[in-house]
Chain A
Amino acid sequence: MGILDVKDVGKRFGGLQALGNVNLSVAENSVHAIIGPNGAGKSTLLNCLVGKLVPDTGSVMFDGQSVLGRSPHEINQMGISRVFQTPEIFGDLTVMENMMIPVFAKRDGAFRMHAIENMMAERDIVETAEKMLVDMNMAEKRHMHAASMSRGDKRRLEIGMCLAQEPRLLLLDEPTAGMARADTNNTIDLLKQIKDERDITIAIIEHDMHVVFSLAERITVLAQGTPLVEDTPENIKGHPKVREAYLGEAA
Chain B
Amino acid sequence: MLNLQKHDKTLMIIVAVLVLFAPFILNPFPTGSAMAQFNAGYPDLMQRFVIFGIFAVGFNILFGLTGYLSFGHAAFLGVGSYSAVWMFKLLSMNVIPAILLSVVISGLFALLIGFVSLRRSGIYFSILTLAFAQMSFNLAYSVLTPITNGETGLQLTLDDPRILGVSATADGGIPVTSLFGLEMRSTYEMIVGPWTFQFNAGYYLCGIILLAAFYLSLRIFRSPFGMMLRAVKSNQTRLNYTGLNPKPYTLAAFVISGMYAGLAGGLMASMDPLAGAERMQWTASGEVVLMTILGGAGTLIGPVLGAGFIKYFENIFSKINDSILHSWFSFLPDGIEDAVVFLIHPFIGKGWHLTLGILFMLVVIFLPGGLVEGGQRIKKWVSGGKNKADDKAPKTEPAE
- Whether A and B touch directly in their complex, counting CB atoms under 8 A apart, is answered as yes
Q: Which residues of A contact B (CB under 8 A)?
A: 50, 71-74, 76-77, 81-82, 84, 88-94, 97, 100-102, 104-106, 109-120, 122, 125, 142-145, 161, 165
Q: Is the CB of A114 within 8 A of B243?
A: no
Q: Which residue of B lies closest to A100 (CB)?
A: B227
> With A and B bound together, what is the CA distance between A119 and B224 in angstroms?
5
Q: A88-B237, A143-B395, A145-B398 are in contact. Are A93 and B244 (CB under 8 A)?
A: no
Q: Which residues of B contact A100 (CB under 8 A)?
A: 224, 227
Q: Is the CB of B225 within 8 A of A94?
A: no
Interface assignment of B33: CB less than 8 Å from any CB of chain A: no
Q: Is the CB of B249 within 8 A of A117?
A: no
> With A and B bound together, what is the CA distance between A93 and B219 in angstroms?
18
Interface assignment of B394: CB less than 8 Å from any CB of chain A: yes
Q: Is the CB of B227 within 8 A of A93?
A: yes
CB distance from A163 to the nearest CB of B (A): 12
Q: Is the CB of B222 within 8 A of A119?
A: yes
Q: Which residues of A contact B226 (CB under 8 A)?
A: 115, 119
Query: Which of chain B's residues 370-400 have a Cβ closer than 8 Å to chain A?
Result: 394-396, 398
Q: Which residues of A contact B242 (CB under 8 A)?
A: 73, 76, 81, 101-102, 105, 161, 165
Q: Which residues of B contact A112 (CB under 8 A)?
A: 224
> With A and B bound together, what is the CA distance between A104 and B219 in angstroms?
18
Interface assignment of B233: CB less than 8 Å from any CB of chain A: yes
| Residue in A93, A120, A144 whose beta carbon sits within 8 Å of that of B231 in the complex | A93
Would you give the 0/1 interface string for B230-253, flagging 1 where the beta carbon is closer than 8 Å to chain A? 110111011111111100110010
> With A and B bound together, what is the CA distance between A125 and B225 in angstroms?
14
Q: Is the CB of A117 within 8 A of B224?
A: yes
Q: Is the CB of A93 within 8 A of B398?
A: yes
Per DSSP, are chain B's interface residues mostly helix, strand or loop, or mixed?
Answer: helix
CB distance from A17 to the nearest CB of B (A): 27
CB distance from B7 to the nearest CB of A (A): 13
Interface residues on B, range: 35 or more
Q: Which residues of A contact B238 (CB under 8 A)?
A: 88-90, 161
Q: A73-B243, A73-B245, A82-B241 are in contact. Are A90 and B231 (CB under 8 A)?
A: yes
| Other 9 A-B pairs with CB < 8 A, given A93-B227, A120-B4 | A71-B245, A73-B239, A77-B243, A82-B241, A84-B241, A88-B238, A93-B230, A143-B396, A161-B242
Interface assignment of B223: CB less than 8 Å from any CB of chain A: yes
Interface assignment of B228: CB less than 8 Å from any CB of chain A: yes
Q: Which residues of B contact A76 (CB under 8 A)?
A: 240-243
Q: Which residues of B contact A71 (CB under 8 A)?
A: 240, 245
Interface assignment of B1: CB less than 8 Å from any CB of chain A: yes
Most A CB atoms within 10 A — which of B230, B238, B248, B396?
B238
Interface assignment of B220: CB less than 8 Å from any CB of chain A: yes
Q: Is the CB of B223 within 8 A of A88?
A: no
| Residue in B223, B234, B396 whose beta carbon sits within 8 Å of that of A118 in the complex | B223
Q: Is the CB of B395 within 8 A of A145?
A: yes
CB distance from B392 to the nearest CB of A (A): 10
26 inter-chain pairs at a CB distance below 8 angstroms, sorted by A residue, are A50-B241, A76-B242, A76-B243, A82-B241, A88-B238, A90-B238, A92-B233, A94-B398, A97-B227, A101-B228, A102-B243, A104-B228, A105-B242, A110-B243, A110-B244, A113-B225, A115-B219, A115-B252, A116-B219, A116-B223, A119-B227, A120-B1, A120-B4, A120-B222, A143-B395, A145-B398
